Amino acid sequence: MRTSVALSLLVAAATGVAAQNPLPTAAAVTNNPVGLVAEAVLPGNIKGKVVAKSGEGGVGVQFNVELSSIPEGGPFTYHIHVNPVPENGNCSATGAHLDPTERGETPVCDKSKPETCQVGDLAGKYGAIPEGKTTFSANYIDKYASLVEGTGAYFLNRSIVFHYPNKTRIACANFKITNVGSAPHPSESGGEDHTGTVTQTISSAAPIGTNPAQTTGGAPSPSGTMPVTAGASFSTSSMTGVVAALLGGAMMLML
Ligand SMILES: [Cu+2]
């Protein structure tokens, strides 16, 4: 009897490990057309633009986000959404986030593992716009977004959307190519690696550190007071330990 209980616990634990599927990972893009530049200019609510250009040697996409007239509230997230903004400017028509690996919305993006995040989740990977700021600027290289037409992570036929913490869409814009560029030259690839560097300059209407209570459910803010999202994931090693312990227990009971 006790043996069977131990064994069923063991089976449950082993099933738990099997169900803990790793998140799919996005492939790094190394063949973006060199010199290609596109920009998404925001029409209002938030002013500014997002410039996307091919990384050095066609490796990754360099994003430059320059915003002003940011409304009160926040932190604000932003993403690449799958559909372009229609003529009437309705941000709701832009659909879901660009997610060619189909990893979905949960678990929340872990910025230390950007390859496991939605490709379009730029705020998740590189930081949201903190509350209490009127301007924001960020500059980073994303390895997984693509400027190669026809690939799943291609985004120049899509849009960028900014959200309030409750996910309401504040502003959105389509990318427009401003410089076509050319196919990458093989000998030019493998240049200096800027990947993963994120620089942000933020000017503040209110002095830093006087933020009122953080609204719940917001994306992690890039300021020093980054809320750590509670992880619901099990580490494989600890689960293996549990299985080993249960196995040991079952053996003992059977002996
Ligand atoms: Cu979005």
Domain borders along the chain are 2-20+234-254, 37-201
Least confident of 17-31, 60-74, 80-94, 157-171: 17-31
- pLDDT band at 44, cuts 50/70/90? confident
pLDDT of residue 21: 77
pLDDT of residue 200: 58
For the domain spanning 37-201, the CATH number is 2.60.40.200
Query: What distance in angstroms lies between residue 98's CA and the mean position of ligand 1's atoms?
Result: 9
Measured distance CA(162)–CA(128) in Å, rounded: 10
pLDDT of residue 121: 98
Query: What distance in angstroms lies between residue 184's CA and the mean position of ligand 1's atoms?
Result: 30
Q: Which residue has the higher pLDDT, 74 or 244?
A: 74
pLDDT of residue 181: 81
pLDDT of residue 199: 55
Query: What distance in angstroms lies between residue 249's CA and the mean position of ligand 1's atoms?
Result: 48
Query: What distance in angstroms lies between residue 208's CA and the mean position of ligand 1's atoms?
Result: 26
Query: What distance in angstroms lies between residue 96's CA and the mean position of ligand 1's atoms?
Result: 7
Query: What distance in angstroms lies between residue 115's CA and the mean position of ligand 1's atoms?
Result: 18
Q: Is the pLDDT of residue 109 over 50?
A: yes
Query: What distance in angstroms lies between residue 170's CA and the mean position of ligand 1's atoms?
Result: 10
Query: What distance in angstroms lies between residue 12's CA and the mean position of ligand 1's atoms?
Result: 37
Q: Is the pLDDT of residue 241 over 80?
A: no
| Ion ligand 1: protein residues whose beta carbon lies under 5 Å | 79, 161
Query: What distance in angstroms lies between residue 223's CA and the mean position of ligand 1's atoms?
Result: 20
